[in-house]
Amino acid sequence: MKLFVDTGDIEEVRQAAQWGIVDGVTTNPTLISKSGKGFKETVTAICDILPHGDISAEVVATNYDDMLKEALEISSWRENIVVKVPLIEPGIRLVRTLSEKGIRTNVTLVFSVSQALLAAKAGATYISNFVGRVDDISDDGMNAVAASVEMIHNYGFDSEILVASVRHPLHVVQAVEAGAHVSTMPFKIMQMLFKHPLTDIGLKRFLDDWNAAGLKVM
Ligand code: E4P
């Protein structure tokens, strides 16, 4: 499973990149607006920190012609950019156009299998299935993820199901169980994945015993 960080904070990307386990970054207009920096400046800085990662940057126009102009501009900034496109009618048309040009896409704001089907048929590289926002309205966001993963396998689509709107580590575990291809999550949730109280207790005991015996590595 690929792990992406969902952030517009360059410092968080820098820290996460040091772990050597991060496969990409997802941004959205809200995250970019919180970064305090310009769109291009933020996205290109993230691309340069993770040159082998997939970095999603989203168009903000909602009509086909302007979406296409923005997509071509954004994709020209760096080779590792994936153009993020909302699942609306001109968005699906745009994904088809970009896919024919060899430009990779991440279809966002996907909540149902029927929407995921449209994105897959248009040639989306990634399909961002939001889970937390569905849980927030008392439904189970992971249901659509499991069904969409099954659809991708049943019909042999090339798209990868990306679990987005992740709110806690259990969402990551459920994404693994559903066989999702990617999980994107806030930096603080990725940090939480490291944590287990028995790891901390176990490490303390090892080190206490080692130090009590007066041992040295070299
Ligand atoms: C995904 O790419 C989105 O940026 C993100 O996961 C949305 O998360 P939220 O529902 O917590 O805003």
DSSP the chain: -EEEEE---HHHHHHHHTTT---EEE--HHHHHHHTS-HHHHHHHHHHHSTTSEEEEE----SHHHHHHHHHHHHHH-TTEEEEEESSHHHHHHHHHHHHTT--EEEEEE-SHHHHHHHHHHT-SEEEEE-HHHHTTTS-THHHHHHHHHHHHHHT---EEEEES--SHHHHHHHHHTT-SEEEE-HHHHHHHT--HHHHHHHHHHHHHHHHTT----
Q: Whose CA is nearest to atom 12 of ligand 1?
A: 165
The CA distance from 91 to 132, in Å, is 23
Total-model pTM: 0.96
Q: Whose CA is nearest to atom 9 of ligand 1?
A: 165
Q: Across-strand partners of 24?
A: 4, 54
Scanning the structure block, which residue is given the tokens 């970064």?
35
Q: Whose CA is nearest to atom 8 of ligand 1?
A: 165
The CA distance from 20 to 193, in Å, is 15
Cβ atoms of 160 and 183 within 8 Å: the answer is no
Classified by CATH at the fold level, domain 2-212 comes out as TIM Barrel (3.20.20)
For ligand 1, whether the C-beta of 169 sits within 6 Å is no
Residue (of 129, 139, 94) closest to 108 by Cα position: 129
- Reading the block at residue 33, the tokens are 């607006």
pLDDT at residue 196, rounded to an integer: 97
Domain spans, the chain: 2-212
Which is the catalytic residue, given 84, 121, 188, 216? 84
For ligand 1, whether the C-beta of 54 sits within 6 Å is no
Scanning the structure block, which residue is given the tokens 């991708």?
152
Residuewise pLDDT in 10s, the chain (218 residues): 999 999 999 999 999 999 999 999 999 999 999 999 999 999 999 999 999 999 999 999 999 999 999 999 999 999 999 999 999 999 999 999 999 999 999 999 999 999 999 999 999 999 999 999 999 999 999 999 999 999 999 999 999 999 999 999 999 999 999 999 999 999 999 999 999 999 999 999 999 999 999 999 99
Strand 24-26 to strand 54-58: parallel, antiparallel, or no bridges (unpaired)? parallel
For ligand 1, whether the C-beta of 6 sits within 6 Å is yes
Annotated catalytic residue 34: no
Interval 173-211: pLDDT, tens: 999 999 999 999 999 999 999 999 999 999 999 999 999
